[in-house]
Chain A
Amino acid sequence: MTRPLIFEISRPGRCATALPALDVPTADLPSSLLRDDLPLPEVSEIDLVRHYTRLSQLNYGVDTGFYPLGSCTMKYNPKINEQMARLPGFARLHPYQDEETAQGALFLMYHLQEFLAEIGGFAAVSLQPAAGAHGELTGVLMMRAYHLDRGDDQRDVILVPDSAHGTNPATTTMSGLKVIEIPSDARGNVDMVALEAACEEHGDRLVGMMLTNPNTLGLFDEHVEEITALVHEHGGLMYGDGANMNALLGIARPGDLGFDVLHYNLHKTFSTPHGGGGPGSGPVGASERLAEFLPLPIVDVDLQRSDDEELFYTFVDPPKSIGRVKAFYGHFGVLVRAYVYIRMLGADGLRRVAEHAVLNANYLKGRLEGTYPLPYDRTCMHEFVLAGPPDDVQAAGVHTLDVAKRLMDYGFHPPTVYFPLIVHEALMIEPTETESLETLDGFVEALLRIADEARADPDLLHAAPHNAPMRRLDEVHAAKKLTLRWKPE
């Protein structure tokens, strides 16, 4: 049975929300500027609630079950985060209020800046970027501005490994710069020979390099210090894609490894919910020499308005700021959740997060590598990549996508598939630290059984999922016959 859209349950005259009566005299309406019709749905409150409750039941979330989506860090989202972000003292605060009336919010932002700077090993942090990709744009514009400020205006090249997230090259183009792709070596590291050659060739045109470490194979680059030294030697700067910071909390600080600028993903590492696609938050940390280029404003202490009893927090503009990257100050509601997370874990707790994330990933890898091909046989960090189903199964026409869809029948969210691009039929698995041994074992059993099923009955996998809310959806049809909105019949 086709599920109705909200428009299909609409009936004339219904409304879910009663508003107060008008308590002032009416003013003349500018008739030439008024709209004729407003074709929005008309539903009662109970029908509205049932509609969205039913929709929610078609979704799979971390609260539903195991979500080993590589590169996305789908850890548990603590419930207290939600309550604290909704406190009226935060939720009903207007961004343009006098700073004096918002000291609680500014205190929280200032200390979150400090916490993130300490965790990443940076001199200063901006909380303004709204997501990881937004943090990337911020960081690359800062690198560009740094060179321009020094009169180094011929620099226009960014090096990006072939294992990088697609956002890295896309960000480079948005910043008006050129991408040079650097291959990976047989151990999954950046290929040092190729990197040296690229640095030689583009030396004085080098803006810098974007590097995810651990990389998207889940591997800590064995030459990371040589890489940062080499890029610096040629006058370039190091951008750190912090998507995989969950492996590094209390383990290593990117700033100590030689990164000049890095974005954090609060929605990955710091437990803020993914919300079905957002809102995220992508604060950016900067080294001493890049700090003055951070987006404006950031929070600082106003010593003149502080006294022995209390510090006064205020917004300030970094002197050579690239400008603002969004309106207001960032996703404040998300910042509250991340602040709560860090306060509840402390330094020891954060290190345990990374340790258990890495332990869980290596455990899954150890149990699966006998059955599923493992292209890089090394200790992994918080995630690892398999090269699809077993070779004989692939030869029989069963692919990573089929395994992914079949996992849904066992009640699991599939891993990330077909990424990174450098692994054929990639299955990228990230368990996170918040899962129990029993959950991990259940996932392993499902994948082992699926490998057997693939041999016995490949069509069972081709037709999967069988028990999900929907059968396999036709994405080609969607792109060809573009229907992006509902229309009345």
Chain B
Amino acid sequence: MLAAIGARSIKDLFDDVPERVRFPELDLPAALAELDTRWELESLAGSNLTASDCACFLGAGAYNHFVPSVVDAVLNRGEFYTAYTPYQPEISQGTLQAIFEYQTMICDLTGMSVSNASHYDGATATAEAVITAINVHRLKRRKVVVSPFVHPEYRAVVRTYTQGMGLTIVGDENGGSAGLTDLLDEETACLIVQYPDFLGRVEDLSGLAEATHAAGALFVVVTDPIALGMLKPPGEFGADIVVGEGQGLGAGLNFGGPYLGFFASRKKYARKMAGRVVGQTVDAAGERGFVLTLSTREQHIRRERATSNICSNQGLVVLAAAVYMAALGKSGMRQVAELCYHKAHYAQQRIGEINGFSLLDDKPFFKEFVVRCPEPVQRINDYLLDEWDIIGGYDLGLDYAHLQDHMLLCVTEMNSRDEIDVLVEALGEVTS
């Protein structure tokens, strides 16, 4: 090979690299064989305590949902996971058709007309929704109103993403004492709410949608796709953009990622959306096929005038979501949602009866609910884990000053009645 190149040694190929820094000695641990590596990784994984070892009542944006075996069976096909972004459609129809089917199912689930091929996660999809809203208003409106009960990390990511854009982001200060609709004005690009909200509550959004539209702003809804198996989709309330975390659709917990940010909107905003989009077309023989489309919005064509710098989607996680939605289908998606709903309500009612624990309010909720605890949440969680092998709920005091000693509990189809009864028994012991 060197002869074909006309070089004497491989080292000679690196003559352009300044000699001062060439060939550093990297201080890394010695290489391991596959078996050694497996031992090391199994030992690391084994030292974690997970939802496989314990009953898990923790949610707050990452959910312990069932993943049917068919999902991983499809994901493990090398033709899917070792492919690149489908730039060459003639040999990428598998990926492209799966995304087209995903886009269709996301539209149907959310009640919207168009969906893109996804963003990194629910938080970045929310940030991209804000940027879309700013662009729809041609940068003339720079105020964003956000509900305090949008996931705290999503609100943080919106602020990080837009720190160079000169936006004013309001609504979530002081636990949201000001009414959201009072903050809407002719400067407002969008209002963002979460449905079910971060505390698990569900409300009719039509009023908020109307008020937002009256101010000429876009109504952005962050949602949980599992909840949409039974709940009225945000599109029916008048949402302009619907985003959210698609992790529940077959992605597993994975210590926070990779997950899936879905993004759907009204058709009129299709050309303002960021992200990859798959469209239907025909080939030279007239056969139906699929391609990446609307690429004139994107960075590799528009460069500094692109709608975003994004140039990937969540590929394999999108595929997982498509397989998941097809595997559960019309009846299964509703059934999962109803299992979550009824089990969460059973748990909420039982916990509400325990001496010392009380419920935050009586608003409708889906699979998460808030309980006021007689002791700090951290102490209760330590007790649940140490004595009962239970992963307890999320400590809302970390994010909301007025919710010290309040725990956000999550119940899904993965929690059996036995597990819930043991949780109730364990919480009963806290005060006895």
Contact = CB atoms under 8 A, between A and B. Distances in A.
The 10 closest A-B pairs by CB, nearest first: A176-B164, A328-B256, A89-B45, A63-B78, A346-B31, A95-B256, A275-B316, A27-B345, A279-B258, A323-B160
B88 A333 contact: no
A130 B280 contact: no
A220 B16 CA distance: 6
Given A59-B94, A101-B48, A347-B25, A329 B255 contact: yes
B77 to A, nearest CB: 4
Contacts of A63: 78-79, 82
B263 interface: no
A72 interface: yes
Interface stretch (B101-109, B175-183, B184-192, B208-216): B101-109
A211 to B, nearest CB: 15
Contacts of A10: 329
Contact of B319 (A96, A115, A276, A414): A276
Given A86-B72, A475-B291, A92 B51 contact: yes
A224 B16 CA distance: 10
A118 B28 contact: yes
Contacts of B296: 479
B132 interface: no
Contacts of B203: 33
B165 A176 contact: yes
B160 A324 contact: yes
Interface in A46-90: 48-49, 51-53, 55-64, 67, 69, 72, 74, 77, 80, 82-90
A23 B421 CA distance: 12
16 contacts: A3-B93, A19-B332, A35-B232, A41-B326, A84-B45, A169-B299, A174-B308, A177-B164, A279-B120, A279-B317, A323-B156, A336-B41, A346-B28, A359-B1, A363-B5, A477-B282
Contact of B45 (A90, A225, A250): A90
Interface string A358-372: 111011011100000
B46 A170 contact: no
B207 to A, nearest CB: 13
Interface stretch (A195-203, A231-239, A453-461, A480-488): A480-488
B401 interface: no
Contacts of A89: 42, 44-48, 50, 52
B229 A38 contact: yes
Nearest to B167: A176
A287 to B, nearest CB: 14
A83 B45 CA distance: 12
Contacts of B120: 130-131, 134, 278-279, 326
A77 B4 contact: no
A95 B24 contact: no
B233 interface: yes
B86 interface: yes
B80 interface: yes
B256 A332 contact: yes
Given A61-B78, A96-B58, 17 more contacts: A2-B287, A16-B70, A33-B204, A89-B52, A104-B47, A130-B120, A136-B309, A145-B163, A170-B309, A174-B131, A275-B316, A278-B316, A328-B256, A342-B28, A355-B10, A465-B91, A472-B284
Nearest to A348: B31
Contact of B90 (A43, A165, A252, A408): A408
Given A40-B109, A42-B330, A251-B22, A80 B45 contact: no
Interface in B311-360: 311-319, 322-323, 325-336, 338-339, 341-343, 345-346, 349
Given A89-B46, A173-B306, A485-B100, A472 B291 contact: no
Contacts of B103: 484-485
B233 to A, nearest CB: 6
A30 interface: yes
B282 A59 contact: no
B417 interface: yes
Nearest to B301: A166
A423 interface: no
A137 B163 CA distance: 11
B140 interface: no
A328 B164 contact: no
B129 to A, nearest CB: 14
Contacts of A274: 81-85, 315
Given A72-B84, A325-B160, A35 B230 contact: yes
Interface string A124-148: 0000001111101100010011000
A324 B330 contact: no
A489 interface: no
A158 to B, nearest CB: 10
Contact of A484 (B58, B115, B311): B115
Contact of A137 (B161, B298, B327, B342): B161
A56 B76 CA distance: 10
B312 A277 contact: yes
A29 to B, nearest CB: 7
B282 A332 contact: no
B117 interface: yes
Interface in A242-298: 250-253, 256-257, 273-281, 295
B242 interface: no
B328 to A, nearest CB: 5
A264 B260 CA distance: 21
B74 A30 contact: no
A292 B80 CA distance: 39
Contact of A15 (B44, B228, B303, B328): B328
Contact of A92 (B1, B52, B84, B327): B52
Contacts of A87: 41-42, 45
B299 A323 contact: no
B85 A220 contact: no
A59 B330 contact: no
- The winner among B46, B103, B293, B382 for most chain A CB atoms within 10 A is B293
Nearest to B347: A24
Nearest to A62: B82
Contact of B70 (A49, A134, A275, A339): A49
A5 interface: yes
Nearest to B3: A366
Contacts of A363: 1, 4-5
A102 B154 CA distance: 23
A326 B304 contact: no
Contacts of B301: 166
B425 interface: no
Nearest to A250: B26
B253 A279 contact: no
A7 B253 CA distance: 29
A96 B394 CA distance: 8
B97 A276 contact: no
A449 interface: no
